[in-house]
Structure 1
């Protein structure tokens, strides 16, 4: 048996291993290391390597280092040990004495000390229990002394690297940090940063900065004088370097310093503002990669977390710069339309290639978006002039409390501007997944979180801090701003990749509360966001074989297999009954689920010109009041939300939204065929077409849906468009100009007043195209596939002050020439879709058609609460 074989056999037990080290000493260890380091893969080399591993397994490492430290060639011995074994560490069961012995290797030579610290770093990294053991024996102060000695004795980058690594591990993971004495580490770590950066050793500088940040973040308060004299100037100097690893470490340090209480006296406003501007410049740079953007977002979120005006100022500047970035390369509807008119003045539908060009256009002018952003950035400057408190409130100016009067004023100034900016941002990213992903990585969720916390300071005396966003936190935000926040969240959550961004973000509670409000728009947006997250989570869970790995981000983990495509509630698809159970079923089980809790039928409402997804479907207007819509519509004002949701509880009630101005004065819109394309994609993503569907349309909305169905009937239409056509079982028209309208002529005459007709109005002009589309729908009706009901207005209406009262859509054009037609003698064009009661024909006839279609397709007759109460 060779020497290596004998050593391997002896090292297999702890008792013999200790004897082997004591008897063999340095001579045996050197021979084993030399033999193990050979590259011939011989039996002797393998035996020597296994012998060393057995010795380490039986806790011989401290004794091996003791022997090596007493030899004249200790550094060579340490290098040989590393070369032979690669990474080495203490065993998990190492005793306190062994750990203390490893910390005391400073007198054994610099290389032995470095090796000992490296071993302890690996040991600490393996578990928090090990970190606790090191803290309990006074390892923290010992590390501080080793670091101070390293500085005095000269630059030894290997030791500095190991020290910074171990300090960072202990600061982040140790469960008893108060025993570490991390305050003693701050000065050496700052020295390591400065020393390494002077030598352009960015890797060491970044690691030392990360360890410094961890100490600050997890309990070491920094003296304000030290921060002003040393830390802030060092950060400023390093900010000019382009190394990405160092830049990310600087951002981590800024985030740590911005935390309340980390610096005595808190972060100075000048430092906060300077770093906010610098980080915004980085995050909006074309060269900024996603990992750096995430780090920038975390730092900005920390800077914006201040409850006073400074925090809101950062959030507003952040939002404004993100908005400006999104305007780059934007094509507007109007610019594309003008280019097309120059090529061909015809208003007929262009080729598919032109439609593709329109698909990424937006209705917002970039100059307007940049103007909103610039105005938002000026909010804090205007508020600052009012920041001085009255004489009887001198205490609010003290550094220990933010000036609430200034914060409240700034909030009032910012609220309407924030609404406008978020509305523009929604328009810019609604149909752009790449921009949505960029927004998420650039921290838009953190910006919205800061805004939703409340636009004025919260009570700092509260002992309990909510992790989720509670309703009270948003009590100072207007409903209009909450609607735009919820809308943007719904847009961002549509992307399946967004699920991770919402994890641990605290949004679920705010979304749940918002979804239960009476505000139709706010509750719809919030519920859409929740449904998108639930459906993304269902997809993620379906791809996990291990059920135990399913950690829900929102709601509860679902084990049901998905049936059909994922539910995606895109922008412009609204919910009349956001609390209905069937929405959750579709999100968690798939749009084609056969669950008995799934909806039996879809009813989709489509508004007309100047309409909206909720305002069009209000109840009867108050006599004598103008037709202007209220600032918000509540559920009890909206008859589909109350009457129809009650009478048809298993029907899913959706409402579509699209840009439908009457003229260029009121905004821009896609051409009709462009709107049709977007509408079809939005509907199919929401699962419309997986069950029977009835479209309920007002005015121009009817033309839009007829155009959509005619397009789906064309040969070569995509399969999901054909599915939507096949599922369409009913059409209901309220005052729809099937054969054209004089509104189109008024639109063209607006050119003489300096405005062009909106694209939607252009297509109301009587002509062969409308008749061709009408013929397609007639064929579907006469084949028995489609029930059709049309309502005609009976009263004139004054749309324009300079014109007399007129019937907007006369009966001869409101009737398509097939199906049932009902005259509403007391309703004008706006009121035709606003029945005053359940018994009014405008509602009763609609309910009858929905009931018949539902029963025809196998749905059981439904008994509403209204009927139940009537029977009692």
Structure 2
């Protein structure tokens, strides 16, 4: 049935028509009625519901409107009509019960037939108002109101929100509505100062809708009833929305309890609909009072929509930023706090969204939060731990507060540290939450420097503990059963044990250092600002043993030693474990590493401690009241303050950074950090005080080379057998590869690596390989002070590319630097294990490859390698020969070693490692490395076995041999096979060989009587492979054969001459000049 009506003059006739239309809703969809009636039905009903005295006509019109606005297909057309919202607001005030001193409570069961239509419309309105307030997924929804709202309509909604009532037009007659109200009179909008500044003109004819008591206090008593009714209405309306509108659900509410939520809903929809509407809202509410009233309202839906309006106005940067925004932010924070406490997640989320924008745009808001609101945010964070979205929003808001000009106090930082670290380490934490927490922690460490050490150490302890737990879980899940004969497994197990010990030491260091600082000012451990941090594993156990009356003997040096062991253990665990590297990167280890490298927190804290101790000590000395207690004396004596081992901490931190710099995500982070890149450049050039260690400088350069290689390696995702056949766009320097003289020009980082420079055809001749291999490098800046921009070097200022790679590989218990230092004497005077002798000999003396050879032979890049090899199992297991060679082969190929002619310089077992590596490279088709290895220098290499390796088998009670030593026994078939392979390469003219032989015995074991057991470790018959050149070093033992005493020492001069011969042989001739030119 289709009926088109005009506003009727006869009330009874109108009732009949409207009742017929309403009945038709049960037979057909209202959208069809509107389509054919030209929207006249909605307009007519909106007019009729505002006419007092029309009795049944108003009720039937309300019933029809209830059906219309309950249908999502037509509600937008009805509510979007100009004047629709004010008319519905008038209807609410006319039909709902109003407060009076003699107010009788009306039950929804007592609604008469004449009021059912009105009840249905109110129920439909409240259903619309509350439809989005419980959604925790989508705060933003499709607005139901138009983007070109009339100024009068917005003004009416603002008036209802602010005043709790509204004025009616004088042209409309009003009679007593029969519900105990006295009617409403007069509304007018006056233009003030032009067409853009609007204001409300009010008279004394406003109907008093409120009791003398404030609305805030009065409405608190109805809050529970509102929530219960809302929940009931929601569930009921979902099932019957399309068939009927249930009346009576909201009949017990007073008129403003319905009108104010509806006005707030309308304001939010208008604000969402268009920028023009937002501009009108801002102009009409210039003092922000309407929004503030909505934010402070007791009704939940009003708070929700008020928060949404605030957010929409704040995100619109075309609107002016007013001073009242800071008041909004304070109220929003209170809403967040209360909603979090009540577990009202949707309200907390929308308030958080507005709060975040307010502190982002207003410094005054940030200041207010920093001064008075941090405890509210902290409580909210604790109450909403299970909700990811709220935690993310809280973290983002906190990040906005502390990333500007505002800074946390030390006490606030300590109180937040536990929450922030829980955000970092919880399994369900999202990347957004973790990232915000890490940024906040970074700000805290930067702001408080040495005083933040307990927090940074706690971070490291938890991080190392998480890595250990993940390792154990992975082993249990895979039913991993370690084999005792696998030396690599033994080393991994040893690393796990060391890491567990480091965790315990770190946890104790955190608690003891914090105890020294805080127990003197705190009554109990529970009142500690770090109480939340101490509640996390592995800090729980040590914190329980901390007592106020017993201050532990602990200083900064002890804390630094714990950090050193923790960083070292972390580097060992993650050196070859990609998943571990990814995990610790996600856990924010880069922040810790940057702090350890660039800052002097431990030195500063030690200095502060010494100064404080001296201040306490001076008055005691003047008064002669020096305490007798050893504990007090030890803590207060400035002379007892030890120097922390910060240089060692930096070295291991730099090593871990080099390991991580191969990850794409780390490269992206570090490339964007200009300060860090500048520091690394200066460190690599030896310009940072306290970073003169050669390993640190090499790590710094290797890290820069890794992070500025933006292109993905072509080896990703392919099998090892195909590695040699694929082109690699850039080298990857691992932590076992050290760059000698990293300050030289050929190590500088190019801005972009030309792929063609790396392309090397397998059919190229030796001369062609020399010409076309290697990485293009450029000249460095001539400025002494290197800035971050110097890292990007102009390719046009290129320097001569080195022709060779020279790689040094140490031997038994040697090291990348200590093996190659000069010696004062060619024989070892100290007795003891060979590994100890070599260790002591390497502590002093010049590193001759870097000091002498780089100056005398400038045509080469130089590397020195590190690998684990112990003479005995007393100091830990070592890798056998094949495992060492496989590992080194993989690292060398990844670093691009073998792409140009390479010469290996080896000592002792290092020579066997090279021979095994070349053998494996040949079998696995790493042709570049085999073909481009043009020379090997052997210092005391046991080609056919060592007497030292024979001795442990005969003296089992003296030494227990490691597996690698077993492969060095005389007559080993494996050694003969490797030597035949090398002989074949030499015979074909592909490989030149130079061998050095020792002539003196080396002290091995010192007995009880002071005598030493000495022996010739590698005799001449084993040191000479049977081909190539042989140099016999007079009066030289095994340890010192690779340690020249001067540049005229044969162990150096013969090596230099050997390299020069290779250069002359493989250097291409200069181009011939055209004489006719």
Same fold by TM-score, threshold 0.5 exceeded?
yes
For 2:319 and 2:1022, locate their aligned partners in 1 and report how far apart those are by CA, in whole Å: 77
Conservation of the 8 A alpha-carbon contact between 2:271 and 2:277: no
Matched, 1:455 2:658: no
Residue 69 of structure 2 is matched in structure 1 by none
For 1:229 and 1:630, locate their aligned partners in 2 and report how far apart those are by CA, in whole Å: 57
* Structure 1: stretches of 5+ with no match in the other structure: 1-26, 36-63, 91-95, 125-129, 343-353, 391-398, 400-405, 460-474, 541-561, 862-872
Residue 513 of structure 1 is matched in structure 2 by 682
* Bigger radius of gyration: 2
Aligned with 1:662 (options 839, 854, 871):
871
Aligned with 2:1029 (options 806, 820, 825):
820
Aligned with 2:655 (options 487, 493, 514):
487
Residue 787 of structure 2 is matched in structure 1 by none
1:733 deviates by 0.5
Aligned with 1:535 (options 694, 709, 714):
709
Conservation of the 8 A alpha-carbon contact between 1:734 and 1:791: yes
Conservation of the 8 A alpha-carbon contact between 1:411 and 1:455: no
Matched, 1:112 2:266: yes
Once the two structures are superposed, the pairs formed by residues 746-761 of structure 1 within 5 Å of their partners are 746-748=951-953, 752=957, 756-761=960-965
Conservation of the 8 A alpha-carbon contact between 2:491 and 2:878: no
Q: Report the CA distance shift for 1:613/1:855 in structure 2 as closer, same or farther (over 3 A).
A: same
For 1:502 and 1:581, locate their aligned partners in 2 and report how far apart those are by CA, in whole Å: 22
Q: Deviations over 1:726-767 (max 9, x none)?
A: 2211111011111111222344467536x7422322221221
1:579 deviates by 1.8
Q: Deviations over 1:683-727 (max 9, x none)?
A: 00100121111111011111111111112222xx1x4x2321122
Question: Bigger CA drift: 324-333 or 521-530?
Answer: 324-333
TM-score of the superposed pair, with normalisation by structure 2: 0.58
Residue 762 of structure 1 is matched in structure 2 by 966
Residue 502 of structure 2 is matched in structure 1 by 372
Residue 709 of structure 1 is matched in structure 2 by 918
For 2:1068 and 2:354, locate their aligned partners in 1 and report how far apart those are by CA, in whole Å: 64
SS in 1 for 2:559: helix
Matched, 1:186 2:316: no
TM-score of the superposed pair, with normalisation by structure 1: 0.71
Conservation of the 8 A alpha-carbon contact between 2:806 and 2:862: yes
How many residues matched?
715
Aligned with 1:496 (options 647, 664, 668):
664
Conservation of the 8 A alpha-carbon contact between 1:103 and 1:117: no
For 2:333 and 2:431, locate their aligned partners in 1 and report how far apart those are by CA, in whole Å: 28
For 2:422 and 2:1057, locate their aligned partners in 1 and report how far apart those are by CA, in whole Å: 60
Matched, 1:244 2:388: yes
Q: Deviations over 1:281-309 (max 9, x none)?
A: 55444454544433443343344445265
Q: Deviations over 1:620-645 (max 9, x none)?
A: 246887546479979x9211112221
Aligned with 2:512 (options 382, 386, 391):
382
1:509 deviates by 1.9
Conservation of the 8 A alpha-carbon contact between 2:561 and 2:644: no
Q: Report the CA distance shift for 1:799/1:493 in structure 2 as closer, same or farther (over 3 A).
A: same
Aligned with 1:422 (options 547, 562, 567):
567
For 2:350 and 2:651, locate their aligned partners in 1 and report how far apart those are by CA, in whole Å: 43
Once the two structures are superposed, the pairs formed by residues 37-436 of structure 1 within 5 Å of their partners are 70=86, 72=88, 109-119=263-273, 142-143=287-288, 146-152=291-297, 154-156=299-301, 159-163=305-309, 165-166=311-312, 169=315, 180-197=323-340, 200-209=343-352, 211-212=354-355, 219=363, 220-222=366-368, 226-227=372-373, 230-239=376-385, 242-253=386-397, 255=399, 262=406, 266=409, 268=411, 272-273=413-414, 275-281=416-422, 283-307=424-448, 310-328=451-469, 330=471, 340=483, 362=492, 364-384=494-514, 386-387=516-517, 411-436=556-581
Residue 567 of structure 1 is matched in structure 2 by 731
Once the two structures are superposed, the pairs formed by residues 786-797 of structure 1 within 5 Å of their partners are 786-797=991-1002
Residue 1038 of structure 2 is matched in structure 1 by 829
Conservation of the 8 A alpha-carbon contact between 1:121 and 1:166: no
Alignment RMSD: 4.9
1:377 deviates by 2.2
Conservation of the 8 A alpha-carbon contact between 1:297 and 1:441: no
For 1:684 and 1:563, locate their aligned partners in 2 and report how far apart those are by CA, in whole Å: 11
1:799 deviates by 3.2
1:531 deviates by 0.5
Conservation of the 8 A alpha-carbon contact between 2:147 and 2:277: no
Question: Bigger CA drift: 319-328 or 743-752?
Answer: 743-752
Q: Report the CA distance shift for 1:695/1:325 in structure 2 as closer, same or farther (over 3 A).
A: same
1:381 deviates by 3.5
For 1:32 and 1:98, locate their aligned partners in 2 and report how far apart those are by CA, in whole Å: 31
SS in 1 for 2:498: helix
1:772 deviates by 0.9
Matched, 1:600 2:803: yes
Q: Deviations over 1:527-554 (max 9, x none)?
A: 1101001113x559xxxxxxxxxxxxxx
Once the two structures are superposed, the pairs formed by residues 689-704 of structure 1 within 5 Å of their partners are 689-704=898-913
Conservation of the 8 A alpha-carbon contact between 2:808 and 2:865: yes
SS in 1 for 2:367: coil
Q: Which has the higher helix share?
A: 1
Conservation of the 8 A alpha-carbon contact between 2:737 and 2:864: yes
Q: Deviations over 1:203-254 (max 9, x none)?
A: 5524533554565576322478844764433333233xx1211222333455
